[in-house]
Chains A and B, each alone.
Chain A
Amino acid sequence: MQAPAHPPAPAQVLARLPAEVWAVVVASLAALAWIPTLLELARPSSDQVWERFGLTAACQPQQFHLGWIGAVILQQSGGAFTASLPTVALQWLSCKIALLTGLDPLQAFLIPGLLVTFILADLSCRVAGFRRLTSLATAFLITTAPCSFSRVGHLSLAMLWMVIPGLLACHGLWRAMAHRRRPLSLLGAGTLAALLCLPSQEYYVVFVLLLLASSFALLLLLATVRITTISALAAIAARGALFAIGFLALVVLLYSGKLAAVGLGSGQPPAFWSAPRYASEQFQYGLLPFTWIIPPPWVAMLREGLQNAGISTGSESFFWSTGSFLIPAAWIVAIRTIAGNPSEAPAPRADGLGRRDLRFFALLLTLCTFLGLFWMTMGGFGTVVALLNPTLRSLNRFTAFEYGASVLMLMALLDRVLSRRRLEPWPREEAPT
């Protein structure tokens, strides 16, 4: 029976806009949030002095006369912050933008950097099975993460382009281990996940590799609970290993420049990676996970209060990163999800995320939280590998991943809610039931 024709409601009109229009609108909103920061970067200050080392040096035309994969740039990248080939290309692009537009190199780096963060987060969400709306929302949230704004002084830390793709690589690993697939398709899935990560800031590569390895271990452990035969367990492990090999192969390829530079050079870790360790280093780089849950409106107030109380807050980890209310909210959702009734019938996967995906994201958030607590309180990367190499720095950057995992948890829930309510714009074709 034909329903009587009503004039369409404004929400319906909005929903009928093509997905591309929505993508542009959401990306513009994210860009709008960055305008004050961009304006602030026009005023070069000592805060950004670190980043200027890498950027202004790279922006000198003579550094590029051999081309961007020439010997000079390899040597330079060997000691600089960024190293993979895509990043060098991105840096080159921002230098060109700076030269053409007269922008400061920092501003010029921020523009393509944020765009890449947005696009990669959106793309990897789509590949992972999120619907368009939640993919865009995830991309928006990661591009405007509070911890990103608070680390603009360390520009390479403000660019979170690896966080969502890195976390979703763990999701890809889980999917690879869950179903029987051809070996080549598993390798391909691993490679695709690595490509979406666009391995770039080694600062984040370490954490992604750690997360992948831990997810692998955890998934195998969970599989032992319900698998009774060793051969089935071995098949699961083999599928995971194939995915991981595909992932690692591309990371090594993208880092070949840096690895070659290190190998041809002294063989020592690059300058940025190694520094004489000092006694207070683990306190400088370690801990303070409680900053995760302190959202932006109160960070400055709390820092001032602590300073007035005579408590030293000068250490880098102490409020240089901003938390968000999304993190505790996601914890509650994760607990609810894990504690929920597992026997509930799973929804078809063709329409957005399934219930099992939701449970995986809850698991991922839990893993991320515990790894973060462990890593941060023990004093960062250098402490973990101090026995192997005492000169490696204590990198510590878990807030971004904790925030990313929380965003994924919340957006996965939203995805499920939209599935149930059929509220999404651009609905898919009805799946045959």
Chain B
Amino acid sequence: MTARRKESVDPLLAGFGLLALWIAIELLYSSGWLRIDAILRTAERQRLNQARLTRVAPKLITMLEAMPAASRRVWFAPYTTFPETGVIESRSRLGIYDTFLTFPRSGISSNYGAINLSAADSLFAQASSQGLIAEAHLAQSLGYRLFALDLGGISQPRAAAQLCRRSEGCRISGDAYALFPLDAGRTGWIAQLKNQERNIPLLPQISAAPRWGGLVGQPNQWWPSTSADLPPGDGRLRLRARPLWNLELYRYPLAGLPAATRRLLNPQGLKVRALLGPGLSEVDLCLSTATARAAGKPCQVVTLQTQNPAIDISRWIEPGTLTAIEVTLLLGRDGQPTTMERLMPPSDRPNEPSPFTLEIQPPPPSPQR
């Protein structure tokens, strides 16, 4: 008996025991049991929301089916390049696309259904990258009769819902779409969309980059500020630079924009100012532009200081070329050089420090329309 007790554990079996333990840990993480609380809470919230919204108004599909066949031409906004798997902006779309795509016989035609990266898809995506106003004008010029704005996919859903209530002929559906009319004479709401930004989702490469008035930031390098220090309604946007030494920005040439957007943009009207980041006394930026290169300089140096914290850089951001911005110097509040890792975060996003910010003032809408 004593001899039996002395038998040591088989190292291979012990290894398999440890492996089983590790498999349990992997399984616990991958299966989602660790976030079961959040899953249940979301499901419950979703159910309540659904019940509330459906009680208030019918679903979009029901509203569309009740309309005459001729007017069932709908533009879904904000347009996303045909939904690839992954995170896209809105969680409230509830699989709406397939209803239209797989059942074209329902008589509803929409902007979805274009082949990914086809000519139509590229045009729609480009219009979408110019903002909702450009999307609405493109939809109108292509003969769509309705503009279904996904309230879950935009920055200020409450404001959009209020705009819908104020606009003639607009209704909010039970699945959180604001269904605006695109008929001539009832499009006053379009100009009111100027403060609306598309939600920037988790994966910027899949989605469109942050953009405003023909200006596009390189994905994953900028994020739009939600700070309350801008007066509401004046249309200005602040794009904060992520803590990177090299950033890129592109300004569409006017000829490269969809006609609807072109009509809205005044080439001289776009104003871009660079602002000093929080907690810094000086930031030197080096803007590589065609003009600077023509003048024999490697780049245009812009120095933001405490005494001079905002500089207009509009003239160096040339349309049709990529503007590379290099951060060459960072001085902390004490006047000593500092690093990106030691930057202070701005008030509106505590986990996201930023060396400088671009403030974009889009051109005033042109009066032709």
Q: Does A44 contact B (CB under 8 A)?
A: yes
Instruction: Check B27–A33 contact: CB distance below 8 A.
Output: yes
Q: From B25, which residue of chain A is reached at the shortest CB distance? A: A297
Which residues of the other chain, B, contact A421 by a CB distance below 8 angstroms? Answer: 10, 13
0 or 1 for each of A308-348: is its CB under 8 Å from B? (1 = yes): 00111111100010101110010000000000000000000
Q: Identify which of A33, A43, A296, A326 contacts B46 (C-beta below 8 A).
A: A43
Q: Identify which of A44, A56, A144, A316 contacts B86 (C-beta below 8 A).
A: A316
Q: Compute how far the CA of A272 lies from the CA of B244 in the bound complex, rounded to whole angstroms.
A: 39
Instruction: Check A313–B203 contact: CB distance below 8 A.
Output: yes
Instruction: Check B94–A44 contact: CB distance below 8 A.
Output: yes
Q: Compute how far the CA of A52 lies from the CA of B84 in the bound complex, rounded to whole angstroms.
A: 12
Q: Does A149 contact B (CB under 8 A)?
A: yes
Q: Compute how far the CA of A329 lies from the CA of B21 in the bound complex, rounded to whole angstroms.
A: 14
Which residues of the other chain, A, contact B98 by a CB distance below 8 angstroms? Answer: 49, 52-53, 56-57
Which residues of the other chain, B, contact A324 by a CB distance below 8 angstroms? Answer: 26
0 or 1 for each of A24-63: is its CB under 8 Å from B? (1 = yes): 0000000001111101101111111110110011001000
Q: Compute how far the CA of A329 lies from the CA of B85 in the bound complex, rounded to whole angstroms.
A: 31
Instruction: Check A149–B19 contact: CB distance below 8 A.
Output: no
Instruction: Check A314–B203 contact: CB distance below 8 A.
Output: yes
Q: Does A220 contact B (CB under 8 A)?
A: no
Tell me the smallest distance from the CB of B115 to a CB of chain A, in Å: 7
Instruction: Check B84–A316 contact: CB distance below 8 A.
Output: yes
Tell me the smallest distance from the CB of B88 to a CB of chain A, in Å: 5
**Interface size range on A against B:** 35 or more
0 or 1 for each of A2-37: is its CB under 8 Å from B? (1 = yes): 000000000000000000000000000000011111
Q: Does A146 contact B (CB under 8 A)?
A: yes
Tell me the smallest distance from the CB of A391 to a CB of chain B, in Å: 11
Q: Compute how far the CA of A50 lies from the CA of B36 in the bound complex, rounded to whole angstroms.
A: 25
Which residues of the other chain, B, contact A48 by a CB distance below 8 angstroms? Answer: 95
Which residues of the other chain, B, contact A56 by a CB distance below 8 angstroms? Answer: 95, 98-99, 102
Q: Does B271 contact A (CB under 8 A)?
A: no
The count of chain B contact residues (Cβ–Cβ below 8 Å) is 54
Q: Compute how far the CA of A141 lies from the CA of B10 in the bound complex, rounded to whole angstroms.
A: 23
Instruction: Check B221–A310 contact: CB distance below 8 A.
Output: yes
Q: Compute how far the CA of A82 lies from the CA of B94 in the bound complex, rounded to whole angstroms.
A: 23
Q: From A105, which residue of chain B is reached at the shortest CB distance? A: B95
Instruction: Check A57–B205 contact: CB distance below 8 A.
Output: no
Q: Does B361 contact A (CB under 8 A)?
A: no
Q: Compute how far the CA of A50 lies from the CA of B82 in the bound complex, rounded to whole angstroms.
A: 10
Instruction: Check A46–B93 contact: CB distance below 8 A.
Output: yes
Instruction: Check B85–A149 contact: CB distance below 8 A.
Output: no
Which residues of the other chain, A, contact B23 by a CB distance below 8 angstroms? Answer: 141, 326
Instruction: Check B83–A50 contact: CB distance below 8 A.
Output: yes
Q: Does A218 contact B (CB under 8 A)?
A: no
Q: Compute how far the CA of A48 lies from the CA of B85 in the bound complex, rounded to whole angstroms.
A: 7
Q: From B22, which residue of chain A is reached at the shortest CB distance? A: A325
Tell me the smallest distance from the CB of B227 to a CB of chain A, in Å: 20
Q: Does B91 contact A (CB under 8 A)?
A: yes
Q: Does A175 contact B (CB under 8 A)?
A: no
Instruction: Check A36–B205 contact: CB distance below 8 A.
Output: no
Q: Compute how far the CA of A50 lies from the CA of B26 in the bound complex, rounded to whole angstroms.
A: 27
Instruction: Check A49–B220 contact: CB distance below 8 A.
Output: no
0 or 1 for each of B77-119: is its CB under 8 Å from A? (1 = yes): 0000001111111110111011101110000000000011110
The 7 closest A-B pairs by CB, nearest first: A314-B205, A36-B32, A296-B29, A296-B30, A146-B30, A314-B203, A57-B102
Q: A296-B26, A417-B16 are in contact. List 13 more A-B contacts (CB 8 A).
A: A33-B33, A36-B39, A43-B42, A44-B94, A45-B91, A50-B83, A149-B32, A150-B30, A275-B116, A307-B220, A326-B19, A413-B12, A421-B13
A residues touching B (Cβ–Cβ < 8 Å)? 33-37, 39-40, 42-50, 52-53, 56-57, 60, 141, 144, 146, 149-150, 153-154, 275-276, 278, 295-297, 307, 310-316, 320, 322, 324-326, 329, 410, 413-414, 417, 421, 423
